[in-house]
Amino acid sequence: MSEIELQNLSKSFGELDAVTDVSLSVRDGELLCLLGPSGCGKSTTMRMISGLETPSSGTVYIGDADVTDEPAYDRDTSMVFQNWALFPYKTVLENVAFGLKMRGMGKQQRRDRASEMLDRVHMDGYESHSPTDLSGGQKQRVALARSLAVDPDVLLLDEPLSNLDKRLREEMEIELKDIREEFQKTFVHVTHNQDEAFTLADRIGIMNDGRLVQVGEPNEVYRDPKNKFVEEFLGDTN
């Protein structure tokens, strides 16, 4: 069963075709990486799944529902950004509890839930800290806790590890794997880093110039690149 289904999705900004005719199914419980060079349309595709961007044409299904015209807050998705997007004047706990108010939880329940999620990402003890005191890796843990707290079916991660150095990135890759095992979610993970994609993904979707050029399991894509672009992109180890 597919959890996310994109049918012929396109997005233009004026003259610029950012995303062109992307069709893709993401299975329930799968982690799919969208991989490709900067500017190829990964974030725009992701933002159309989350509802932060309206497609110029095409359809987005989540679960069985056509959500193309649904606002972001009505979709069962939660997004983690490269720059964390934490509120600097709220504490760590308040940041994680933030989205829960709209879900009708009482204050104590929100605090308990936020605290539980912070424990889960090994950030217990930081509840009353300001996000500005934290390292990049710690901020990303808090952002992850915030996304998990609302218990979405779909987690959308846009370059979540790209602001981290290599050591922290590897540490967070392990964390993400653990979280996947524990929480039954469907993940779309955007990255321009092929090591990250090959480490984490069940399947990889490779994008170039607004188009989805190949989708497959990591070893399949690696062994049998569909065209010259994929071959050269995967061959470039920089």
**CB nearer ligand ADP, residue 38 or residue 108:** 38
Residue 95 touches Mg ion, criterion: CB under 5 A: no
Residue 43 touches ligand ADP, criterion: CB under 6 A: yes
99-103: long-range contacts, CB 8 A cutoff, minimum separation 24: 99/146, 99/149, 99/150, 100/149, 100/150, 102/73, 103/150
Backbone dihedral region for residue 62 (phi beyond 0: left; psi -120 to 50: alpha; all else: beta): beta
Could you tell me where the beta strands, DSSP code E, fall in the chain?
2-13, 16-27, 31-35, 57-62, 65-66, 77-80, 154-158, 186-191, 203-208, 211-216
Least Å from the CB of residue 187 to Mg ion: 16
**CB nearer Mg ion, residue 45 or residue 147:** 45
Residue 191 touches Mg ion, criterion: CB under 5 A: no
**CB nearer ligand ADP, residue 43 or residue 77:** 43
Residue 13 touches ligand ADP, criterion: CB under 6 A: yes
C-alpha–C-alpha distance, residues 112 and 37, integer Å:
40
Piece in contact with ligand ADP (CB under 6 A), picked from 35-43, 81-89, 108-116, 132-140: 35-43
Residue 15 touches ligand ADP, criterion: CB under 6 A: no
C-alpha to C-alpha distances, 177 to 80, 92, 148, 184, nearest whole angstrom: 16, 23, 14, 12
Residue 42 touches ligand ADP, criterion: CB under 6 A: yes
Residue 51 touches ligand ADP, criterion: CB under 6 A: no
Least Å from the CB of residue 18 to ligand ADP: 3
C-alpha–C-alpha distance, residues 194 and 201, integer Å:
10
Residue 44 touches ligand ADP, criterion: CB under 6 A: yes
Least Å from the CB of residue 188 to ligand ADP: 12
Contact partner, 41, from ligand ADP, Mg ion, none, Cβ < 5-8 Å per class: ligand ADP
Phi/psi at 12 (nearest 5 deg)?
A: -115, 145
**CB nearer Mg ion, residue 113 or residue 192:** 192
Q: How far apart are the first and last CA of the chain?
A: 36
Residue 50 touches ligand ADP, criterion: CB under 6 A: no
Piece in contact with Mg ion (CB under 5 A), picked from 1-9, 36-44, 132-140, 143-151: 36-44
**CB nearer ligand ADP, residue 36 or residue 131:** 36
Total residues found in the chain within this entry: 238
Q: Which amino acid is at 2?
A: S
Residues whose CB falls within 8 Å of the CB of residue 220, separated by 6 or more in sequence, listed in order: none
Write out the residues near ligand ADP by the rule CB under 6 A.
13, 16, 18, 36, 38-44
